[in-house]
Structure 1
Amino acid sequence: MTYPMSRRVLLRGGLGVAATGMVAGLSSAATAGPRPGAARTDAEVYGVTTVDPLITRRADPFITRPVAGTYYFTGSVPEYDRIVVRGASTIAGLATAAESVIWRRPASGRMAGHIWAPELHRIDGRWYIYFAAGDSDNVFRIRMYVLESGLADPRDPAGWTLRGQITTEWDDFSLDATTFAHAGRRYLVWAQAEPEIAVNTSLYIAEMNTPWSIRTKPVRIATPTRAWETQGFAVNEGPAVLVRNGRVFLTFSASATDARYCMGLLTADAGANLLDNRSWVKTPDPVFATWEQTRRYGPGHNSFTVAEDGVTDVLVYHARDYRDITGDPLYDPNRHTRVQRLYWHGDGSPLFGVPVGEGGPIVRLSPADARGAFVRHWEYVLRVDSGVRELADTQFRFVPGLAGAGTESLRSVNFPDRYVRVVDGTVQIVPVAAGSPEAISASFRRVPRDGGGISLQLAGDATAYLRHDRGRLIVGPAAGNRTTFLLS
């Protein structure tokens, strides 16, 4: 949440009738819990539901990891007047789950202003909600507070009591508290306006001695200095932590809360002193930002959870589906909760891609003779590359064939008007209209292969297949591993 200048300031979709069952058996994200004879859900194919938006008009979304088989959700409501919690056995189930109001702001006085960015954490068998609140006489006198519940179900409002304010070194604008445990220590990370620094908010970390208090001096680990962090407001806020692959990854959001809002990344070695700001390295460019082609604007204030398979990491974030906003974006209610799969590069760093649009499961294709490489598009041509950091260039959706029944087409995720098409033997990705003369050359028939792979046969030529040839994607006759692709 960014404060105003006065204070300084996936619709659930399938792969098509012909595709759903076949792809479901091929995805490496879909190996757990097979249901013989049943088509797998998009979550089982892709790793996470593609309901988009997952929850409307809920900003700053936070989804817990499953606790006793239940995911719990909380987030900012447009009225900024209450804290809500909902729960479901699946991430997709949160979309329609009943919502419980577990706390409302008082009628006046302290905490009777804006209520922002709640987070729900299970610590030592008790529930805690970290949130930010202003006062009735100044809704932007934002400070951090903690609620506690000893009940098993955080949706029960009867269990919640106010633990009080989290005090820091400065009694100044502070918000977006998150907490994580690492190497036997619990930390708090938050955003704050430090009086001596001429920016809106920076990020700070401290060790905690209770779930509602810190025991060490706050350490500033990031401040907005780059152009993408200072658009509209100079902001680093909304931290979220994920410990993986020997490192501590900390995402954050930057700039104003309109289409310029975006996410950055800090990284520290898992064995480093996290209270030393020299341990943290900021990635030079944003890792997740507005993507015009999918009409997802201002993605940010994320959290992380894990999919039902217990393995696949899931990015949770909010974004609008339009760019232009009337008035202060802080009061535009249509920041919707969205989820998508988080990928990992071979070097252990996260790959975020772009905020994806509506549609069914997303797949990546690896040639069976080059399993560490992926089919990707670049300058309208498809090729096969390893070590691809441009994740979205390797993401596709199978959709009903542009040439009609019995065929499928392969659509780009980051350029959803473009389809894989064979033109004079060159495998391209270009705009194609359904029913057009070009549709037949952008349509395929899927042929299952041993070992869980598939081949893609040209709809207009039963003897021709997509084929890998030393980093190129060409067309040729069936040739074993060269015309076999694995989907993940």
Structure 2
Amino acid sequence: MGFDISRRTLLRGGIGLAAVGAVAGSTASSVADAAPEPRTDAEIYGVTTKDPLVERRADPFVTHRISGMYYFTGSVPEYDRVVVRGAPTLAGLGDAAETVVWRRPASGTMGGHIWAPELHRIDNRWYIYFAAGDSDDVFRVRMYVLESALADPRDASGWRLLGKIRTEWDSFSLDATTFAHRGKRYLVWAQGEPEIAVNSSLYIAEMASPWTLATKPTRITTPTRSWEILGYRVNEGPAVLIRNGRIFLTFSASATDSRYCMGLLTADARANLLDRASWVKTPDPIFVTDPRTRRYGPGHNSFTVAEDGETDVLVYHARDYRDIAGDPLYDPNRHARVQKLYWHRDGTPLFGVPVGSGGPIVRLTPGDSPYGFVRHLDFALRVDTDLRELADSQYRFGPSALGGSFETITSVNHPDRVVCVVDGSLRLVPSSTADPGAASFTRVPVRGGVALRLASDAARCVRHERGKLVIGRQSGAASVFRLS
């Protein structure tokens, strides 16, 4: 008999005994707990795999879903206007119509570069924070605020300019973001402090209103490390995520070419956020260029939550190539991208690498090691429970040259390699030289997940044995894998 098993069910391992019997060829006549076929990747994997999400939009900002809608804004290559688009799904933002809600004046103040708009819903009103230069000096950049009382931020008729955000110094300032925490609202932004010989540092202050500061600024980071001073001495593009009793604040550093990268500050959620000592900088960058995935200069991110209401999503821009003719600031091909943000067991975020194009990304956990993940180390596949290199444990299933239900398993951070059986164990080998029979598998639903049967010998499957992945008989939890 025939039946359909949803991709969600296969991924999450939620398949019952009736389904197992049907797969094994039993006479079971129903599949009691098979879910209906989902409509989008986001329903299965937590976040769309569309890449890029929006072309030629740098400094991307995506709201959380508000009244069933996501809203997107970002810098346009012409640096002359503020745009907003909306859609009920993250993937839908890519094709959504775009509205110009504000355009720079022909001359004078704010007639220069328009950068990095952010869209925030505060007290039932919309606010857009953006940076603007002047027509006679496009780099005389300051921060400004727009406000709309309308429900739909795409309606240009509702927007009015409130004016400039006034800080301690009348100097180069940009990339304002805002967040509320423990009954207070804060502004974080980048600014060139006159007495510090850097391009920009990050500052925080409490807010009296969505457009004015209530306190003096506190400098929470300045570029000093080697990865923060490449081309320019820059800390900019802050984004805030409050999780697990901590406040995580990402930022971007260095020039806007392939050296652009992201750093991380962390504060205890109970700390005084206006105290510089509350913020700890992670020593190394947490998101950088990856030539293997062909993603260059990732940065200026924001965060949102996927359609399931649970999965954190990293929003960022990156180019598809390294070499740029002329000033990278005027290269238009920084594309907005999204990918799932993962979490380590200690509650800290795992960013991994900027992933390349392709289908949904999965991690595999063996049934006999519920806290472990399949990873590759020196191209050999193994299972580890303490995993810091996220990308080593990320894979994609794709079509096999054998056709039918057979699939290959590709490494996310080595997209030119596939999982292959070599002398009874599993390794990553170049896809151009892999034997299709040894590098193709069938996902078979079993209780708790899937079994991965080998194409060249259906009687054998992938098994976990003492930290290694080998080929053997399908038996017990060691041959069951949960995909997440």
Q: TM-score, normalised by structure 2?
A: 0.94
> Which residue number corresponds to residue 355 of structure 1?
354
> Which residue number corresponds to residue 481 of structure 1?
477
Distance 1:21 1:239, change over 3 A: farther
* Preserved CA contact (<8 Å) 1:421 1:429: yes
Q: Deviations for 1:135-193, whole angstroms, at most 9, x for unmatched residues?
A: 01100000000000000010011111111100111100000000000010000000000
**Helix, strand or coil for the counterpart of 2:437?**
helix
**For the residues of structure 2 that align with 1:450 and 1:195, how far apart are their CA atoms?**
64
Distance 1:455 1:30, change over 3 A: closer
Establish whether residue 471 from structure 1 lines up as the match of residue 467 from structure 2: yes
Distance 1:313 1:437, change over 3 A: closer
Establish whether residue 211 from structure 1 lines up as the match of residue 243 from structure 2: no
Give the Å deviation of 1:35. 9.5
**For the residues of structure 2 that align with 1:391 and 1:419, how far apart are their CA atoms?**
18
**For the residues of structure 1 that align with 2:13 and 2:173, how far apart are their CA atoms?**
39
* Preserved CA contact (<8 Å) 2:237 2:251: yes
Give the Å deviation of 1:29. 11
* Preserved CA contact (<8 Å) 1:29 1:46: no
Letter in 2 for 1:439: P
Q: Deviations for 1:321-358, whole angstroms, at most 9, x for unmatched residues?
A: 00000000000000000000000000000000000011
* Preserved CA contact (<8 Å) 2:6 2:37: no
Letter in 1 for 2:454: L
* Preserved CA contact (<8 Å) 2:287 2:352: yes
CA RMSD, aligned part only? Answer: 1.6
Task: Please show how residues 309-458 of structure 1 align to structure 2 within 5 Å.
Answer: 309-433=308-432, 438-451=435-448, 453-458=449-454
Give the Å deviation of 1:25. 1.2
Q: Deviations for 1:44-73, whole angstroms, at most 9, x for unmatched residues?
A: 222111111000000000000011111000
> Which residue number corresponds to residue 98 of structure 2?
99
> Which residue number corresponds to residue 45 of structure 1?
44
**For the residues of structure 2 that align with 1:104 and 1:206, how far apart are their CA atoms?**
28
* Preserved CA contact (<8 Å) 1:23 1:487: no
**For the residues of structure 2 that align with 1:39 and 1:213, how far apart are their CA atoms?**
46
Task: Please show how residues 47-86 of structure 1 align to structure 2 within 5 Å.
Answer: 47-86=46-85
> Which residue number corresponds to residue 126 of structure 1?
125
Give the Å deviation of 1:406. 2.9
Give the Å deviation of 1:428. 0.3
Give the Å deviation of 1:36. 4.4
Number of residue pairs matched? 464
* Preserved CA contact (<8 Å) 1:408 1:445: yes
* Preserved CA contact (<8 Å) 1:29 1:312: no
Distance 1:437 1:294, change over 3 A: closer
**Helix, strand or coil for the counterpart of 2:157?**
helix
Give the Å deviation of 1:473. 1.1
Task: Tell me the percent identity.
Answer: 69
Give the Å deviation of 1:438. 1.2
**Helix, strand or coil for the counterpart of 1:392?**
helix
Letter in 2 for 1:483: S
Query: What are the ranges of 5 or more consecutive residues in structure 2 without an aligned counterpart?
Result: 16-32
Query: What are the ranges of 5 or more consecutive residues in structure 1 without an aligned counterpart?
Result: 1-19
Distance 1:203 1:486, change over 3 A: same
Q: Deviations for 1:370-392, whole angstroms, at most 9, x for unmatched residues?
A: 11100000101000001211111
**For the residues of structure 1 that align with 2:181 and 2:135, how far apart are their CA atoms?**
37
Give the Å deviation of 1:27. 3.4
Letter in 1 for 2:225: R
**For the residues of structure 2 that align with 1:120 and 1:403, how far apart are their CA atoms?**
48
**For the residues of structure 1 that align with 2:34 and 2:165, how far apart are their CA atoms?**
48
Letter in 2 for 1:480: G
* Preserved CA contact (<8 Å) 2:5 2:35: no
Give the Å deviation of 1:465. 1.1
**Helix, strand or coil for the counterpart of 1:228?**
helix
Distance 1:235 1:267, change over 3 A: same
Distance 1:427 1:376, change over 3 A: same
**Helix, strand or coil for the counterpart of 1:464?**
strand
**Helix, strand or coil for the counterpart of 2:300?**
strand
**For the residues of structure 1 that align with 2:446 and 2:54, how far apart are their CA atoms?**
39
**For the residues of structure 2 that align with 1:120 and 1:218, how far apart are their CA atoms?**
22
**Helix, strand or coil for the counterpart of 1:294?**
coil
**For the residues of structure 2 that align with 1:236 and 1:471, how far apart are their CA atoms?**
41
Q: Deviations for 1:219-238, whole angstroms, at most 9, x for unmatched residues?
A: 00000111111100010000
* Preserved CA contact (<8 Å) 1:432 1:439: no
> Which residue number corresponds to residue 9 of structure 2?
25
> Which residue number corresponds to residue 3 of structure 1?
none
